[in-house]
Amino acid sequence: YIGLAPVIARKYGTPVAEEKDCLFASMPNFYEEPVAGGMSEKLWKYNQYLARKSLHHPFVQGLGDGTLDPEAFKHYVAQDSFFLNGYIRALCYCIAKSDVTATEKDLLLLLDGVRREAEALHHNYIDSPEVG
């Protein structure tokens, strides 16, 4: 949402979260390069083509340049809401099953971020007359 926030706000006339409110902004090293030899470096290396393909997908391009059909955006918002709600339930299950305090704390932080994203999605888009 970060880079596209101003475009979405202009197109739909709705406020969007600031970068500091983004779920991933509070996660350590999110904006840094992957650790050399680490799992994230390997994943990026083997999946760069998917990242590029996704970046140039017509949906992403339309969202970025403001030409996305509002019906496609409505479908995306509904799909994202469905995913976030399922993800919240999965995180709750993991927290309940965790027996390591540090893991619980990390999962609770993640859960809070996902919950805030879901609330912002509802407030900014689902409840708006243009999308809802």
Q: Rounded to two decimals, what is the model's pTM? A: 0.56
In this predicted model, which residue has the larger pLDDT, 132 or 118?
118
Q: Is the dihedral of CA 34, 39, 40, 45 positive or negative?
A: positive
Average pLDDT, the chain: 74
Tokens of 129: 């007359």
The pLDDT value given to residue 14: 46
Full DSSP string of 9-48: HHHH------GGGSTTTTSTTTTSPPPTTSHHHHHHHHHH
Q: What is the pLDDT of residues 11-61, one digit of tens each?
A: 545 444 444 444 445 555 545 666 778 787 888 888 888 888 888 889 888
Q: List the chain domain ranges.
A: 22-68, 69-131
